[in-house]
Amino acid sequence: MARVLWLSGEFLLPADSGLYRYSLDVMNTLGEMGSEVTAIGRQRTGPPVEPTSGWVLLPHRDPPMWKKMAHRYPAKVVEVWDHDYARAVSAALDDVAPDVVMFDHLRTGAALDVINSQAPSIYVSQNNETLVREKMIPTATGIRRAALRIDLEKIRRFEDRLLRECAGVSAISTAGVDSFTTRHPTARIVHTPPIYRGTRLEQRTITADTPRRVAMISTLAWGAKIDNMTMALNGLQPLADHDIEIVVFTGGYHPPAHITRNYPNVIFQGYVDDFEAALDDCRIGVIYEPVGGGFKMKTLDFIFHRVPLVTGHTSAADLPLTPGHSVQHVESEHELTDTVTTLIDDLDQLNAMHDHAYEQCRNLFTSTSIQPLTDLIRSITTSQPAER
- What are the extents of the domains in the chain? 3-195+366-383, 213-361
- What Å distances lie between residue 79 and 47, 135, 218, CA to CA? 18, 21, 21
Tell me if 297 sits within 8 A of 355, measured CB to CB: no
Q: How large a percentage of the chain has pLDDT more than 70?
A: 98
Tell me if 221 sits within 8 A of 17, measured CB to CB: yes
Q: CATH for 213-361, among 3.40.50.2000, 3.30.565.10, 3.40.50.10800, 3.40.50.850?
A: 3.40.50.2000
User: Of 271 and 249, which is predicted with more confidence?
Assistant: 249
Say yes or no to pLDDT of 129 above 90. Answer: yes
Asked whether the domain spanning 213-361 has the same topology as the one spanning 3-195+366-383, the reply is: yes
Of 268, 250, 358, 251, residue with least CA distance to 304? 358
pLDDT digit string, tens, across residues 310-354: 999 878 878 999 999 999 999 999 899 999 999 999 999 999 999
Fold for domain 3-195+366-383? Rossmann fold (3.40.50)
The reported pTM is: 0.91
Say yes or no to pLDDT of 76 above 70. Answer: yes
- What Å distances lie between residue 319 and 10, 119, 149, 176, 322, CA to CA? 28, 35, 32, 14, 9
- Assign 84 a pLDDT band (cuts: 50, 70, 90): very high
For the beta carbon of residue 356, count every other beta carbon within 10 angstroms: 16
181 by DSSP, 3-state: which? helix
pLDDT digit string, tens, across residues 167-179: 999 999 999 999 9
Q: What is the mean pLDDT of the chain?
A: 92
Q: Give the integer Cα–Cα distance in Å for 297 and 284.
A: 17
Q: Which residues pair with 39 in a beta bridge?
A: 6, 55
